[in-house]
Amino acid sequence: MDYSRGLKCDYSRELKCDYSRELKCDLHVHSCLSPCADDDMTVNNIANMAMLCGVELLALTDHNSLKNCPAFFKACFKAGVTPVAGAELCTREEVHVLCLFPSLESGMEFDAYLENAVPHFVNNPKIFGRQLILDSDDEVVSEEEKLLISACDIGIDDLPGLMREYGGIAIPAHIDRSSNSLIANLGFIPDEYEFTCYEIRAASALPNLIINNPVLSRVRVVYNSDAHALVKIGERDGRVILCEKNAPALIKALSQ
């Protein structure tokens, strides 16, 4: 089976380019803002590790927040890696969904939206871990007080439309995982869902998933590291064929 199915696109005319090539990508990485990530998951460490692993397109997807994305973008530009602003949202149903945005600006607008959607439960760093907000030199500028792994007040069926308002895309995360995934929490993928792309941890799991969820044969599938530690970045060989190496081209490819 061709597990890159659906990722090839030809937007040469629309994007005014006359080439396309395969890019190694990792669209699910956590920084030290996520309480479950290692403290050495700083923006420069992440960007440089991705560069060493040959990752060309890299998304930062902390839990329910994009507050490290501004520093992350600067670190990626220094490392020669193309950054993508993102977050791993925990929906009302406690399903994890990747939200990717076409620009840092649109991502930070969504981060402001999340301020009212994420409940204000105070984090206990001794139990859950620290939630560090960094500058582009990896210096800690503040700590997020609100516990970021809580379920927010956004339903999973609302996400495709909400992401379109921000020009982004919603991708149900690690659907072959036994916890905090769409299939684990809901039991199946409803036919009426409008998601055009799903994340799977292991390519070998796809055939069996399709048997019980035929919708997966008609959508895109991506493979990411879900890295919470530096050694995990680029661990899975995620690849996408684009005619431009940027976030808008990526979102357009995964949205069709």
Strand pairing report for 21-29 and 57-63: parallel
Q: Tell me, what's the pLDDT at 11?
A: 30
Residue 114 belongs to some domain of the structure? yes
Asked if residue 6 belongs to a domain, the reply is: no
Question: 249 in a domain, yes or no?
Answer: yes
C-alpha torsion 106→243→240→74, nearest 10: -40
* Residue 4 belongs to some domain of the structure: no
Ranges of H-type helices in 38-193: 43-52, 69-79, 104-117, 125-128, 159-165, 182-186
pLDDT tens for the 256 residues of the chain, in order: 333 333 333 333 334 444 578 999 999 999 999 999 999 999 999 999 999 999 999 999 999 999 999 999 999 999 999 999 999 999 999 999 999 999 999 999 999 999 999 999 999 999 999 999 999 999 999 999 999 999 999 999 999 999 999 999 999 999 999 999 999 999 999 989 999 999 999 889 999 999 999 999 999 999 999 999 999 999 988 999 998 999 999 999 999 8
The neighbouring-strand residues paired with 101 are 85
Q: Are 49 and 43 in contact (CB under 8 A)?
A: no
Q: Has residue 3 been placed in a domain?
A: no
Residue 32 lies in a domain: yes
Q: Is residue 205 part of a domain?
A: yes
Domain count, the chain: 1
At 106, which CATH number? 3.20.20.140
Residue 7 lies in a domain: no
Question: What angle, rounded to 10 degrees, do the helices at 43-52 and 69-79 form?
Answer: 40
- pLDDT value at residue 256: 86
- Whose tokens are 């997807």? That residue is 61
Give the pLDDT confidence score for residue 19 in this predicted structure: 57
What predicted TM-score, i.e. pTM, was given to this entire model?
A: 0.91
Domain that holds residue 131: 12-254
